[in-house]
């Protein structure tokens, strides 16, 4: 659970100070946030305690948008729709969906971030490997342990359409760095040898790492991005289908 | 559970079409959303099936920002921190927080929206009352039934700082309409007679109603806005405090 | 949310007194409960504040056993298995299953209990109808409002095998009373006219009502009975299947 | 996640067979379970696929009773009461309580079971240490790593009253074995050197291990025992207190 010291998140023991008639978030009045801040700036500020540059705020927003919905296929969406279909309220259904953000679902972002962050630090910065060498070492290590590399491959898509859009945006906004570079090198090897490509977890995890998010924040950021989709899917189930249907 | 016919939400039985290598949200490719859409536009699009005007998207974003955190005081935040402190993972803590979005917490937005939407339709449009008369009728009715009016009064704030900022923004963006007008008239009566003012539920509920959101969407929209704060509070508990502390 | 005055549950504002080295549940030391009480006696005691007769304890136990599992078909079981399959821990999966105990699933017991309790009080005790007349009035009322009667019909079983076993046991233990009698009269009419029979919600709801449980306790009692099945199903998914499988 | 081969749980990919008018749990008709089985026998049967001896069923029942409630102090109970107080339904509150069964709460049983099971196998059976030697090795190892031994110490009780009652019952029923013997030896060392005693997690974990439950089942068994208490506490909050009170 250790957070790497180079990528700190603030631990002042108070995020929002509540006093009568006053709500101050990390030192900024809520009225000012309402008037002048974008949503993704506020997300960044709540987690990391600093206001991001416009480019970084735009990139975080695009990552949240990329996560917004994946139709009825994910375990989270299925669980949420089952719960509302059984007659529980919308908050219970959204919560039930979020419960499915385990290590094989949203948690995969954290696993990818952890891999990228530890590898950049240990293989590249400390041991002085090139990105290509580090990528090969990671692939070999997972292959020998018969493990999948988190952030690559998708059970529905051979080529997940989200990574190219995110990577291209990261480069044009110039918010990319060593984690994305490593992630791309890994993809080169995997696509050549196995036809496996980067997925949303890999792309968003690498870019979030380049923007200084510790891996522990990954599945929560996914939750922020996916709640809109969960809500839309739950409203659809509630309004367009018979309750407690057998074919769900 | 009936959704008023004038404020429809789309029920095409499919929100996002998943095909191999393709994710299409309500007819728009995910790559295009990533490149060109704001987060609040996507939230609006997922729920209501149309792209909002820039003013409306900005207003929805400000409402989400207004909901972002309220420190450690709400039942949702307390539940989330208790769960992570007991050693369950972040997704379980966020889910536990959302479970507290019941009728006395986030659900109050829905109750306020329902009141405003039904009153504008029945008292103003159908019966022809003025906004002032309608407001008085609502206050009298709740007073006689010894009921609180949802959207007014706050257990911590005499004057919640968020409504003035939201109302002022709504007016400058020209997205306000009859629901907010009614909400303000109710506040005039309550503040004169009882010193009670509008709260975040009332202000955001009225503006969301003016922008065509059916009341059933209220607590889900609150969830979208509050997950960032839940995440930040949960990370703080996890990283800055001893596990399973007695004083939580 | 009013609890009928004749069927009180204790509201002393403390269930279990915790003092250093001492755990006293409603006045009884935990050591004595461990040594001398059955599980169903403790369930009864926690909810109703009195120790049941052996016959009533046995009947409650049989009701809990009847609820223990229904294979992979219910929404609750599906949600629980999806959550553990996605890599979240067992407590998250059980919780997600319980979230599906909405008005169309476990909540149906409460709806059946409410119907039986209100009908016995209003139709039989106050208005003096016979059980047969009351049953006919209930059937007619639901038919006219085009509503299903809670506690009858099952989406998988034409004849749910659990009600006959429960009813027969209730009679042999002599814990049956007017609610079960009314429930059986309703079934007679429904089976003759529509081929619909009593289900587990109806049988357990009627017997719980006869034993003095207010309807508000119904879905919680179902939860007590069903958690063992949820646990077994979740362990099976975790141990016998590939994680995050598409065919779940 | 490996289950030790000597303590198997059945993995036939079907627990309960559902066919029209038929519910068969691990080969036994539900009607027979209702008529002839105790609740704790059914719990055992669902998890382990065999009917226990009467002594073992009685012991499991006593363990479930020991877990039934711990007043308003645990994180699980606090979370559950907060959720119902905020206006969410009973199933959401019970689920929220169960979400707090993390590694520092109910999960401690699993950690204790894992320690006892691995130590009996590796230290006693394989390496041939005496129980006293094994206990000393475990204490030394945790002391050197500056780790607490799971199953010992309690944040409210110096002497948890539940372990002596459970251990005494286990011995009189003759269901005790090497895991409990090791657990008692550890307690001897800890109580002499540090004044720390066994807690409910240690006692129930050791006895469950002696009865052949793999550690992975521990927190689920705790959930079965604690749901009655969560229900009673939630009903109390709902019926005896003002909604959304600040002092909760």
Cβ B65–A11 below 8 Å, yes or no?
Answer: no
Over chain A, what is the mean pLDDT? 94
Average pLDDT over all residues of chain D? 94
At D8, is the pLDDT very low, low, confident or very high (cuts 50, 70, 90)? low
Please tell me whether residue D204 adopts helix, strand or coil conformation.
helix
Please write the tens of the pLDDT for every residue from D90-133.
999 999 999 999 999 988 999 999 999 999 999 999 999 999 99
For residue B93, give the chain C residue with the closest CA. Answer: C92
Q: Mind listing the pLDDT tens digit for each residue in B116-135?
A: 999 999 999 999 999 999 99
- CA of D92 to nearest chain A CA: how many angstroms apart? 6
Give the other-Cβ count within 10 Å of B148's Cβ: 12
pLDDT in tens, chain C (248 residues): 344 444 457 877 789 999 999 999 999 999 999 999 999 999 999 999 999 999 999 999 999 999 999 999 899 999 999 999 999 999 999 999 999 999 999 889 999 999 999 999 999 999 999 999 999 999 999 999 999 999 999 988 999 999 999 999 999 999 999 999 999 999 999 999 999 999 999 999 999 999 999 999 999 999 999 999 999 999 999 999 999 998 99
* Residue given tokens 């403790």 in the structure block: C42
Q: Contact at 8 Å (CB) between D200 and D67? A: yes
pLDDT of residue B78: 97
SS3 state of residue D105: coil
Distance from CA of D58 to the nearest CA of A (A): 34
If pLDDT is split at 50, 70 and 90, which confidence band does A43 have?
very high
Q: Of C18, C161, C228, which is closest to D42 when you measure between CB atoms?
A: C228
What is the reported pLDDT for A1?
A: 37
Output b/e per residue, B48-76; b: 16+ Cβ within 10 A: bbeebeeebbbbbbbbbbbbbbbbbebbb
Average pLDDT of the residues in B54-81: 97
Q: Which DSSP state fits B37? A: -
Q: Rounded to 5, what percent of chain A is helix, strand, coil?
A: 60, 5, 35
Using CA coordinates, name the residue in chain C closest to A84.
C100
- Per the CB < 8 A criterion, the answer to whether C62 and C55 are in contact is no
D 171-210 near C (Cβ less than 8 A): none
The pLDDT of residue B197 is above 80: yes
Query: Is A61 among the domain residues?
Result: no
- Identify the pLDDT of residue D126: 97
Cβ distance of C96 and A92 shorter than 8 Å = no
Interchain CB contact of D82 with B (< 8 Å): yes
**Minimal C-alpha gap between D203 and chain C (Å):** 13
Say if B23 falls within a structural domain.
Answer: no
Residue B11 pLDDT grade (very low, low, confident, very high; cuts 50, 70, 90): confident
Comparing CA positions, the residue from B223, B119, C86 lying closest to residue A89 is: B223
C-alpha C175/C-alpha C55 separation (Å) is 7
List chain A residues with CB under 8 Å of B64.
Answer: 39
Is B62 in CB contact (< 8 Å) with chain A? yes
How many domains does chain A divide into?
Answer: 1
Q: Nearest-CA neighbor of C170 among C20, C29, C9, C58? A: C58
Neighbouring chains to A with at least 3 Cβ pairs closer than 8 Å? B, C, D
Residue A17: phi and psi, rounded to 5, are: -90, 120
DSSP string computed for A8-36:
-----S-SEEEETTEEEETTEEHHHHHHH
In a domain, D144, yes or no: yes
Cβ-based contacts of A222 with chain C (< 8 Å): none
Q: What is the dihedral of CA D194, D200, D206, D208, to 10 degrees?
A: -170
Q: Which residue of C has its CA nearest to D89?
A: C102
Residues D50 and D42 sit within 8 Å (Cβ to Cβ): no
pLDDT of residue C6: 47
Average pLDDT value for residue range B154-174: 95
Q: Is residue C28 part of a domain?
A: no
Residue D166: which pLDDT band, with cuts at 50, 70 and 90?
A: very high
Give contacts of A 12-31 with D, CB under 8 A: none
Task: Tell me how far apart the alpha carbons of residues C177 and D105 are, in angstroms, rounded to a whole number.
Answer: 42
pLDDT(A6) > 60 = no
At residue D95, the pLDDT reads 98
3-class DSSP string for chain C: CCCCCCCCCCCCCCCEEEECCEEEECCEEHHHHHHHCCHHHHHHHHHHCCCCCHHHHHHHHHHHHHCCCECECCHHHHHHHHHHHCCCCHHHHHHHHHHCCCCCCCHHHHHHHHHHHHHHHHHHHHCCCCHHHHHHHHHHHHHHCCCCCCCECCCCCCCCCHHHHHHHHHHHCCCCCHHHHHHHHHHHHHHHHHCCCECHHHHHHHHHHHCCCCHHHHHHHHHHHHHHHHHHHHHHHHHHCCCCCCCC
Residue A8's pLDDT is 58
Domain containing residue C71 = 1-8+54-248
- How high is the mean pLDDT of chain C? 94
The band of D147, judged by pLDDT with boundaries at 50, 70 and 90, is very high
The pLDDT value recorded for residue B8 is: 57
Mutate to test the interface with C, among D3, D4, D5, D16 (most CBs of C within 10 A): D16
B95 Cβ under 8 Å from any chain C Cβ: yes
The pLDDT value recorded for residue A11 is: 77
Residue D6: inside a domain:
no
> Which of A15, A157, A220 is nearest residue B90 as measured by Cβ atoms?
A220
Is C17 part of any domain? Answer: no
In a domain, A17, yes or no: no
> A105: nearest CA in chain C?
C86
Whole-number pLDDT of residue B10: 80
Is residue A20 over pLDDT 60?
Answer: yes
Structure tokens at D143: 């002391």
Helices and strands per DSSP (H, E), number in chain B: 11, 3
Query: A39 in a domain, yes or no?
Result: no
Averaged over B176-195, what is the pLDDT? Answer: 97
Predicted TM-score (pTM) of the model is 0.96
Give the DSSP H/E element, type plus range, for residue D189. Answer: helix D178-194
CA distances from C69 to A218, C100, C215, D21 (A): 36, 14, 22, 15
Q: In the predicted model, is pLDDT for residue A65 greater than 90?
A: yes
CA distance D75 to chain B (A): 5
* CATH code, C148: 1.10.230.10
The two structure tokens encoding residue C14: 């403390």
Q: Does residue B92 sit at the C interface (CB-CB below 8 Å)?
A: yes
Tokens in use for D235?
A: 């009903």
Tell me the ipTM for this assembly: 0.95
Would you state the structure tokens that stand for residue B121, as one six-digit string? Answer: 């339709």
Q: For residues B79 and B98, what is the distance between their CA atoms, to the nearest angstrom?
A: 9
């Amino acid at each position: 659970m250790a957070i790497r010291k180079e990528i700190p998140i603030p631990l002042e023991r108070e995020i929002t100070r509540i006093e009568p008639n006053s709500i101050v978030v990390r030192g900024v009045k809520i009225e000012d946030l309402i008037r002048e801040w974008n949503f993704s700036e506020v997300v960044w500020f709540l987690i990391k305690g600093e206001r991001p540059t416009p480019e970084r705020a735009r990139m975080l927003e695009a990552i949240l948008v990329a996560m917004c919905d994946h139709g009825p296929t994910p375990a989270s969406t299925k669980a949420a729709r089952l719960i509302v279909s059984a007659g529980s309220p919308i908050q219970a259904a959204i919560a039930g969906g979020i419960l499915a953000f385990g290590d094989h679902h949203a948690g995969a972002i954290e696993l990818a971030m952890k891999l990228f962050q530890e590898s950049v630090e240990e293989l590249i910065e400390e041991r002085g490997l090139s990105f290509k060498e580090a990528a090969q070492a990671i692939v070999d290590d997972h292959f020998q342990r018969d493990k999948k590399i988190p952030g690559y491959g998708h059970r529905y898509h051979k080529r997940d359409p989200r990574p190219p859009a995110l990577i291209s945006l990261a480069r044009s906004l110039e918010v990319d760095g060593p984690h994305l570079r490593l992630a791309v090198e890994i993809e080169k090897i995997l696509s050549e040898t196995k036809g496996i490509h980067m997925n949303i977890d890999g792309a968003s995890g690498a870019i979030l790492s380049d923007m200084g998010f510790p891996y522990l924040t990954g599945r929560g950021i996914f939750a922020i991005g996916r709640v809109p989709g969960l809500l839309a899917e739950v409203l659809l189930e509630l309004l367009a289908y018979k309750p407690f249907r057998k074919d769900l």
